[in-house]
Structure 1
């Protein structure tokens, strides 16, 4: 589904001041702890012992640190390691990592200093996703997950280390778990192996699964320990249970597990893994664990879902579906999307990491999702959109979820009337947003050129008429605002009927309330500490479209000030992600080009490896390469490289250096001239920039190359001195 086709709402020039009504309306009620109860404990790499280099924190779209858990990670060159202190008894580990585009390698694993025979394979195959049809998107989805049964038990306090071999590896986080042994076959169940399935993964088990499902109607299909390869999707699945021996033991390899538009229901899927081979996002392809419908009264539980486009893309009748205790990892789009006509659906106690769009979404297309809920889920690192998004629907609950580290085009939670397609059913009834915890959520929106809040109410395509009740919310370390009220289309529809009752806001980068459209909300018992710029930004757009009225319901503190100039946007002080003045400003930064040849992509010019290189489209001068340094810098020196191998003959490239502070208006910093790259001198060219040069976007504009009919750079390095 195409997300975030947002038009930039220009900043208004008048201030609508808050109306006051000092009436105390009661304290917030206690609620359950936010997030899922998980069978593993995560340890951040940056908190471990390492011989590598820590990166971050950084919130800049398109950087490794900004997509990492906690916005920090550890970069390991070959031979370097990070050593974790095990937090609990465990016999299994899952590692979230990234490797440079186009590369692969392994992680050696050590337990208390002894190297295991087993290794963890790492690859960029499932990373570096591009979605050019989504405005504002850049290359994203840098991380991946890889898991390993250790073959032994470790105890709390033991040491488990991983060591990079073969390529640079950025390690983000490790999950330690005591995995159960394989479960026994249920009595009376029908084994897929008895119908010809191959547990070695070599043969095609598709027909065996179909035959077992047909034979087990009203009963259980058993998936024994092993790996099973399916080459096409299953359909006609109804009135059956599909059950494995546990997701560490029963693994199905397919990118399309169930694809069916309808079902009579009573389908129960549990306790195995479905791991796909999806390496890009193609919205027209049903590359999903479930595409369509499981039918009423169904359930999905205890599953490990990975490397798919979407975990569950649910259309048709899915009444009273329960999705619980699952792991969703590394999807190129949504984790789960209730795509209309879902009644009484409960999605609870799931863990979702590294989704390429909304992690959990309800979208009321064709008919409204009603009386459905997202409860006690833990969501981390959705790298293009929101943690949880509610697009229309009636009487929806978003309760006790823990969401962290959203990136680029998303908030932690979005309550929205953005319709995308018709017929759409806007928000109606009561939308209850209760007991949620949001950590480092919200992001700079490149379409609007200003931020999205941690929790966003968006009257995108129509006014908010539902009663939106936001209660008992905790918002911590939001890079920008805590609560945002906006009409994201820029058409100024009202966001009204909103109450925010009981919230703790700590260390928000800009403001507590970001009001950008007409409407009204009542706030009570909202306390804020360490507010970055001001309590309130109240600048509805379009100018003159109406005011946003903030009613003080009592019990509020720490955010009474108002940002006074609607012609400017408050900027957070997020610190310098890398204080070293000798650093290469361009390394690992977002990079684009006018084109590239074959696998020689732009990212190879800033990956820190002089042996890999960018090559433009051939026979098509001029060509250019542009690096986003993340903020305006006083660049004084460029070091440009080609691979040092003597196989690269000497050549002269003719190019100019251009710079920009806003990414749209460029000026020439160094005029066009020929620069000789010679392997005898390291195939390196140094270009000095004039004093007074300040730029964020660095562009090399290439018009000729005597050695090859294309622009070529293996490394573009930028320095302050």
Structure 2
């Protein structure tokens, strides 16, 4: 079924906590996001006998990766019951089960148990990408879909019951899948060439023969399931058409892989569902890898369990990608990987991507005059919702992005090159009419907040004209607009105008300026600002200044954060911490040395299973944590991973403190502390002193020739 059937479209945005909420960027722009044929209902807004979790913004937790940062956990026999918001005969549920487990949920319609169940599995979840700095186990959710076998009416009740495994339910999408479409006249059916619609036989050769026979015409994929075991190539001047994404399903982890094509390829109205369970960047585990050629289109597709939906290189001039669903990819949803000219990516829905959901990356050649328009992006769990890395005259317009996690912003406009030859931003970059909800995150490796909308002069100064207009930013956990040189080399982020923006609640500041450069702000209004209007502290020191010009019409964010030596904390007026709050969590950590991936930030990331390890065989070693402000610390809790595999050991250490990061005094003299898994591998150290910088000076460890801490916690009492 194409997402573009206008008679059945419902434009409901269910990305804010509390159920069905429509978000509009204001009277000057139409509602942002895709027009969708389904209506989403949040589990936390439904009736449940389970336990609601969240909200949470900590990387790697079930609540933080959920839509609205909340979900419902079900034990065996517990249910979550949704009120059906529209006529529907099909439902998709975003869920998570514990790692290594699989099972099913019972389904009830108005109290009557269906014969069919909804399968659930961790097979496609719990992805690790240790080569990406700062990443942790992520991609905790998956999506499962079910035809109900009957039509539910608005107000009916549909319930899901955990049976043999714990299930965390995030959101349910209700829709009318409708009947299968009919075969187009004159088309070549894959079944005529021997394809097996039961999914048992290998249909690869039948697809190849049908494509060869249908040049200039249509390949028909009837209702059924078809197994394609290797990539198709030589696809050009042909239409591949199914009976609808709920009816025609291709089981393939690699569908089209070709470096060039004469073009005129039209792919529409079927599903491609893969078996990709981990991210291997050297493997083309994508729906499309390479080129479809000029004047091609992809529409009405359901793409799931792939590495990338479309990784587009070569020639794709005037390609249109529209009205598709891209779910559960281990990397990007779509990437225009250089040389994209006149490409339009519009009205698509993307959920649960393991990298940027939508990206343009101008590698080898610039992306030119291409656009991301009116797409809805939900829960990219490792990077940005929408990212533009270089390119000329690019447009990002009318999109809705929600719930970015860990290493990304809602929208990033960046000169980060990754590889050469790279083509930086040039011409005019138009960012217009976008809505960002709960976007931005704390980068867990840098202990550095990332804004909802980021302009990043990472590898070179921004020379393009960046025009940001008509933006709505709601509930950003940190800042609204960030200007940064992400490499730390102080390239200028300049030539930016922000005109017309509404900022509704931001955890820290409206403008986070950390690079030299300049921007003009006009008609930007803010309410519910957490700490101050502006943080203006270019890095590195001495790299230059950031000039913020008031173009008029601004309100609600006139104050400036005064202390460039500390980050603003989320919360109204930067309040003093709760006495029970761990002052060290998420703070900047440095060390005299570290071993491999066991970096200092692991000791303050809130996860006792990750740890810092100093350089080996090189005592003494020290770990220093900047608490962000001078605090009267009274207690430290030091931890090692709780697993029994960590044998008991004794570390010899002293505690030092400083208010300025230069002169340190000894707060606790050197002493032996025993860490024993039988007692949780945890020790408590009483401390007396007011300090901002906390230093642990370690001279010995009986269990390993290095200093080791999985968590260092500091408390006021």
TM-score scaled by length of structure 2: 0.81
Alignment partners' CA distance in 1, 2:656 and 2:510: 28
User: Which residue does 2:204 correspond to in 1?
Assistant: 206
Alignment partners' CA distance in 2, 1:687 and 1:429: 56
How many equivalent residue pairs? Answer: 631
User: Which residue does 1:45 correspond to in 2?
Assistant: 43
User: Which residue does 2:518 correspond to in 1?
Assistant: 520
Which residue of the other structure, out of 453, 456, 466, is the alignment partner of 1:455?
453
The correspondence of residues 125-204 of structure 1 with structure 2, limited to 5 A, is 125-204=123-202
SS at match of 2:394: strand
Alignment partners' CA distance in 2, 1:226 and 1:196: 13
- In the TM superposition, what is the alpha-carbon distance from 1:272 to its structure 2 partner? 0.3
- In the TM superposition, what is the alpha-carbon distance from 1:702 to its structure 2 partner? 11
Alignment partners' CA distance in 2, 1:343 and 1:263: 15
User: Which residue does 1:672 correspond to in 2?
Assistant: 674
User: Which residue does 1:219 correspond to in 2?
Assistant: 217
Which residue of the other structure, out of 651, 654, 662, is the alignment partner of 2:648?
654
Alignment partners' CA distance in 2, 1:307 and 1:154: 28
CA contact (8 A) 2:635 2:685 kept: no
Alignment partners' CA distance in 2, 1:652 and 1:378: 45
User: Which residue does 2:472 correspond to in 1?
Assistant: 474
Q: Deviations over 1:612-669 (max 9, x none)?
A: x99xxxxxxxxxxxxxxxx9997989999999xxxxxxx996356999999xxxx999
User: Which residue does 2:617 correspond to in 1?
Assistant: none
Structure 2 CA distance for partners of 1:547 and 1:80, relative to 1, 3 Å: same
The correspondence of residues 225-624 of structure 1 with structure 2, limited to 5 A, is 225-573=223-571
Alignment partners' CA distance in 1, 2:325 and 2:310: 12
Alignment partners' CA distance in 1, 2:462 and 2:646: 61
User: Which residue does 2:85 correspond to in 1?
Assistant: 87
User: Which residue does 1:112 correspond to in 2?
Assistant: 110
- In the TM superposition, what is the alpha-carbon distance from 1:419 to its structure 2 partner? 0.9
Alignment partners' CA distance in 2, 1:290 and 1:640: 42
- In the TM superposition, what is the alpha-carbon distance from 1:692 to its structure 2 partner? 6.7
Alignment partners' CA distance in 2, 1:107 and 1:205: 31
Alignment partners' CA distance in 2, 1:57 and 1:198: 46
- In the TM superposition, what is the alpha-carbon distance from 1:446 to its structure 2 partner? 2.5
Higher relative CO (Cα under 8 Å, sequence separation at least 6) belongs to: 1
Q: Deviations over 1:378-418 (max 9, x none)?
A: 00100111000001111111000000000111000000111
CA contact (8 A) 1:223 1:243 kept: yes
Structure 2 CA distance for partners of 1:189 and 1:693, relative to 1, 3 Å: farther
Structure 2 CA distance for partners of 1:642 and 1:319, relative to 1, 3 Å: closer
Structure 2 CA distance for partners of 1:28 and 1:154, relative to 1, 3 Å: closer
Which residue of the other structure, out of 40, 58, 61, is the alignment partner of 1:60?
58
SS at match of 1:65: coil
Alignment partners' CA distance in 1, 2:290 and 2:634: 50
Structure 2 CA distance for partners of 1:491 and 1:561, relative to 1, 3 Å: same
- In the TM superposition, what is the alpha-carbon distance from 1:483 to its structure 2 partner? 0.4
CA contact (8 A) 1:636 1:693 kept: no
Structure 2 CA distance for partners of 1:639 and 1:153, relative to 1, 3 Å: farther
- In the TM superposition, what is the alpha-carbon distance from 1:573 to its structure 2 partner? 3.1
Structure 2 CA distance for partners of 1:236 and 1:488, relative to 1, 3 Å: same
- In the TM superposition, what is the alpha-carbon distance from 1:454 to its structure 2 partner? 0.3
SS at match of 2:479: coil
CA contact (8 A) 1:670 1:689 kept: no
Q: Which runs of 5+ in 2 are unaligned?
A: 1-24, 586-594, 597-606, 611-627, 658-667, 704-710
Alignment partners' CA distance in 2, 1:633 and 1:348: 55
CA contact (8 A) 1:28 1:525 kept: no
Q: Which runs of 4+ in 1 moved over 4 A?
A: 631-643, 655-662, 667-670, 684-695, 701-704
User: Which residue does 2:620 correspond to in 1?
Assistant: none
User: Which residue does 2:6 correspond to in 1?
Assistant: none
Q: Deviations over 1:189-209 (max 9, x none)?
A: 000001000011110000000
Alignment partners' CA distance in 1, 2:327 and 2:44: 21
User: Which residue does 1:646 correspond to in 2?
Assistant: none
Alignment partners' CA distance in 2, 1:693 and 1:69: 43
Alignment partners' CA distance in 1, 2:650 and 2:247: 57
Alignment partners' CA distance in 2, 1:515 and 1:50: 44
CA contact (8 A) 1:234 1:257 kept: yes
CA contact (8 A) 2:55 2:69 kept: yes
CA contact (8 A) 1:470 1:500 kept: yes
- In the TM superposition, what is the alpha-carbon distance from 1:537 to its structure 2 partner? 0.5
Q: Deviations over 1:537-596 (max 9, x none)?
A: 0011121111111111110000010000100010103999xx9x9xxxx9xxxxxxx99x
CA contact (8 A) 1:224 1:245 kept: yes
The correspondence of residues 675-694 of structure 1 with structure 2, limited to 5 A, is 689=684
CA contact (8 A) 2:652 2:701 kept: no
- In the TM superposition, what is the alpha-carbon distance from 1:79 to its structure 2 partner? 1.4
Q: Mean Cα displacement is larger for which, 292-301 or 110-119?
A: 110-119
Q: Which runs of 5+ in 1 are unaligned?
A: 1-26, 587-593, 596-605, 608-612, 615-630, 644-650, 678-683, 705-715
Structure 2 CA distance for partners of 1:555 and 1:312, relative to 1, 3 Å: same
